[in-house]
Structure 1
Amino acid sequence: MTSIVNVHDAKTHFSKLLDRAHAGEEIILAKAGKPYARLVPLERPKVERRPGRLKLANRIPDSFFFDPLPEEELRAWE
């Protein structure tokens, strides 16, 4: 459903217009009776995000980062 709202009324009732747009209504803003802009809801994300769904099966042990480097690696840094 689309409704046309004058800019002056839109400024007065902006919060209510945002609620209507969020509910799915398309609102045309008119200036001097001529369509000027469109207020529409944002598209919803297609996939619902779920935290932690990509957890690694084989985690790197914490001690891995604190193990001493091999001799070849130490020589390469010198």
Structure 2
Amino acid sequence: MRHVQVTEAKAAFSGLLAAVEAGETVAITRRGRVIARLVPDKPIMAADAFRPFWDHPGEIDLVAPDERPPEPIATL
């Protein structure tokens, strides 16, 4: 992980975003202390976001949908 001072981050923000887009994590520091991190976005599926709820069925009343392909669309 690369550490960058706030002033350097302001001056090179586009370059830092390109590095993050390429998969790198960048820590923004002020006076030697990390105050923020730029991390690559990791999209997740809705089913993955709710999986912890489905793993504990007694705690919340959610039911996982069947794993099936979408139905075809009828053409007119």
Into which bin does the TM-score normalised by the smaller protein fall? 0.5 to 0.7
Structure 1: runs of 5+ lacking an equivalent: 47-52, 62-78
Q: How many residues align?
A: 52
**What CA RMSD, in Å, does the superposition of the two structures yield over aligned residues?**
2.1
Unaligned runs of 5+ in 2: 46-69
Letter in 2 for 1:8: T
SS of the residue 1:5 aligns to: strand
**Greater C-alpha Rg:** 1
Counterpart of 1:41 in structure 2 is 40
User: TM-score of the superposition, structure 2-length normalised?
Assistant: 0.59
- Amino acid of the structure 2 residue aligned with 1:31: R
**Aligned-pair identity (%):** 35
Look up the match of 1:13.
12
Q: 1:54 to 1:45 in 2, by over 3 A?
A: farther
Output one character per residue of 1:26-47: Cα deviation in whole Å (capped at 9) or x when no partner: 000001110110001101456x
TM-score by length of 1: 0.57
- Aligned twin of 1:56: 73
